[in-house]
Amino acid sequence: QVQLVESGGGVVQPGRSLRLSCAASGFSFSNSGMHWVRQAPGKGLEWVAVMSYDGRNKYYVDSVKGRVTISRDNSRNRVYLQMNSLRGEDTAVYYCVKDDEVKLRRGYYYYMDVWGKGTTVTVSS
């Protein structure tokens, strides 16, 4: 079955960096786009970033642009989120999410279908 296991979270001081990792199994990783979505304590879901199956395309939410980089290693079935210049508002549970797609008449529709259990990032001095 599809499994996504996040790691790398922890307590970090403002301004420091952290690298999250997500180990994927149970599906064709190299054919799937991968996302990171976060959820601040007691708050709703916020999409952070996505990377296409081949790593060519990546998109970010405005609030993290320039500070966060998504990457992947298809040989290791892993996706990463490098977070720099961390702020208090980055405190959240970070979920790794697998993509799936529907072929349309023109192009594809992509949706997030399976979520990991998340890893917690706390930014605090």
Partner 1 sequence: SYELTQPPSVSVSPGQTASITCSGDKLGDKYVCWYQQKPGQSPVLVIYQDTMRPSGIPERFSGSNSGNTATLTIRGTQAMDEADYYCQAWDSSTAIFGGGTKLTVL
Applying CB under 8 A, which of residues 2, 23, 40, 61 lies at the interface with partner 1? Answer: 61
Applying CB under 8 A, which of residues 69, 114, 120, 122 lies at the interface with partner 1? Answer: 114
Q: Total binding residues for partner 1 by CB under 8 A? A: 23
d(CA 16, CA 26): 34
Nearer to partner 1, 15 or 54 (CB): 54
- CB neighbours of 56 closer than 8 A, spacing ≥ 6? none
d(CA 118, CA 125): 23
From 18-26, 69-77, 82-90, 103-111, span contacting partner 1 (CB under 8 A): 103-111
**Pairing label, strands 3-7, 58-60:** unpaired
- Contact between 52 and partner 1 (CB under 8 A)? no
d(CA 101, CA 50): 14
Enumerate binding residues for partner 1 (CB under 8 A).
35, 37, 44-47, 50, 59, 61-62, 95, 100, 102, 109-118
